[in-house]
Amino acid sequence: MAAPVPPFTRETAIQKVRLAEDGWNSRDPNRVSLAYTVDSRWRNRAEFVHGREAIVAFLTRKWAKELDYRLIKELWAYTDNRIAVRFAYEWHDDSNNWFRSYGNENWEFGEDGLMHHRYACINDLPIRAADRKYHWPQGRRPDDHPGLSDLGL
């Protein structure tokens, strides 16, 4: 199946969100970067990232710090070439302190379906290991695993 391109419908926007989730859950910076234009612009928290090379460097740093990263994204809204998502991911640091990071992203796409703008707002909540909700093996979230709304997040 070809990746969805604008103009988005509800169905293709949901597909685009799941493809993004799957990519990020791969924790492969090079794979993830291919979903973005070569000159893509990001705001991620207080960091500004420009271009695929910077995206790869950013994600490499991110996943060296955010260990055992697991992410769930959910469609919030969409238009012809924009998608808004909410997400939550769980991870721990090198001292085994666990966190659940909550956020929202706004995405804008070109006609080719590549994202050229990404704006992310994220907050980190310390959690106990016993309070984790994401227990699937590294990689793609299983189809039968609950989403954010199902988990009450």
Q: Is residue 64 part of a domain?
A: yes
Q: Please report the DSSP string for 82-107 in residue order.
A: EEEEEEEEEEE-TT--EEEEEEEEEE
Q: Is residue 4 part of a domain?
A: no
Q: Which two tokens stand for residue 130?
A: 């016993």
Q: Report pLDDT for 37.
A: 98
87: β partners: 73, 103
Q: Report the percentage of the chain scoring pLDDT > 90.
A: 98
Q: Report residue 129 CA to chain centroid gap.
A: 22
Q: Is residue 3 part of a domain?
A: no
Q: Is residue 139 part of a domain?
A: no
pLDDT value at 17 more than 80: yes
**Total domains in the fold of the chain:** 1
Single pTM value for the model:
0.97
Q: What confidence tens digit (pLDDT) does each residue in 65-99 have?
A: 999 999 999 999 999 999 999 999 999 999 999 99
Query: What range defines the domain where residue 39 resides?
Result: 10-134+145-151
Q: Is residue 36 part of a domain?
A: yes
Question: Domain with 63 in it: what CATH number?
Answer: 3.10.450.50
Q: Is residue 17 part of a domain?
A: yes
Q: What confidence tens digit (pLDDT) does each residue in 104-117 have?
A: 999 999 999 999 99
150: left (phi over 0), alpha (psi -120 to 50) or beta: alpha
Q: Which two tokens stand for residue 147?
A: 């989403």
Mean pLDDT of the chain: 97
Question: How many Å apart are CA 17 and CA 115, to the nearest integer?
Answer: 12
Q: Report pLDDT for 2.
A: 79
Q: Is residue 123 part of a domain?
A: yes
